[in-house]
Amino acid sequence: MGSAIEMPSLCASAAEKTQGTVSYVAFDLETTGLRPSSDRILEIGAVRVEDGEVTGTYETLVDHALPIPERITELTGITEEMTAGAPDIREAVEGFLRFSGDAVLLGHNIQFDYGFMKRNVLNLRILQAAGEEAGNRPADSYSYERMGLDTLTIARTVLPQLKSKSLDKLADWYQIPLEHHHRAMDDALTAARLFERLREEFARKYPALFEPVPLQSQVRRENPITSSQKAYLRELIKYHRIESAVKIDLLTKNEASRMIDGIILHYGKIGSRP
């Protein structure tokens, strides 16, 4: 599962005093869009780094509920056929939580990925301790609070001369190989390599930048689709003879409402078909 990548070899006893944490999980998500409240996770990629060495990896596509927008397929190369039969979101997220545990999380613009992950953790009622049974705890007992490091934040401070601080541009600057930009595992590995290069070069001058901070993301847990919504949505689709690849059982209550409203707006209610 683990694999070696070219990173500076760090001595924990010396590095911890001057360069912050030496253990973290770098991760990246590919999603159907930019809004955690309405878009879905397509792919998760993560690498565990200890003392500058990769000691484990986690990678999965996600069989999601909604069609992949064409622009996202063009950007990532991820197609409907690739995600068909992949783990559903619960299995994929639980796998990530088991892999990452309570480790410090690292990413490039990590607030984006953390926001998506936190929303899904809360929505699926998964406890911080992955694998622990949820039982009958109230919804407000579920949480996903983590410490994090952001290579974008670091780069904005230490490399002001660079016009772009995007991951691919920073990889070019440091001659870090990035074969498949906008694929989760490649971007997670690149973020880890980038962090090690930045730390090697700037941690002594800017030690605070390389210390993990609490990640902040205000998300509200959403309720799953109701039984009545499932039944009515299936009736609408059947009545109007709509071809749909949407996985109705995986929709949230709000997503189902938007889909029902969209069908009625475009096709009319049941009984209104010409």
**What mean pLDDT is predicted for residues 27-45?**
93
Would you state the pLDDT for residue 222?
Answer: 75
Residue type, 84: A
Please state, as a whole number, how many other Cβ atoms lie within 10 Å of the Cβ of residue 67. 14
Sign for the CA dihedral angle at 210, 212, 218, 220 comes to: positive
Question: In the chain, pLDDT over 90 holds for what percent of residues?
Answer: 61
- pTM value is 0.79
Going by the DSSP 8-state scheme, the letter that residue 252 receives in this structure is: B
Would you state the pLDDT for residue 7?
Answer: 46
Q: Which of 2-11, 49-58, 122-131 has the lowest mean pLDDT?
A: 2-11
> For all residues of the chain together, what is the average pLDDT?
85
Torsion angles phi and psi, residue 38, rounded to 5 = -135, -15
Instruction: Report d(CA 51, CA 15) in Å as an integer.
Output: 9
What pLDDT digit, counting tens, does each position of 194-203 carry? 999 999 999 9
In our burial notation (b when 16+ CB lie closer than 10 A, e otherwise), range 217-247 reads bebebbebbeeebeeebeebbebbeeeeebe
Would you state the pLDDT for residue 129?
Answer: 37
Q: Is the pLDDT of residue 133 over 60?
A: no
Would you state the pLDDT for residue 86?
Answer: 93
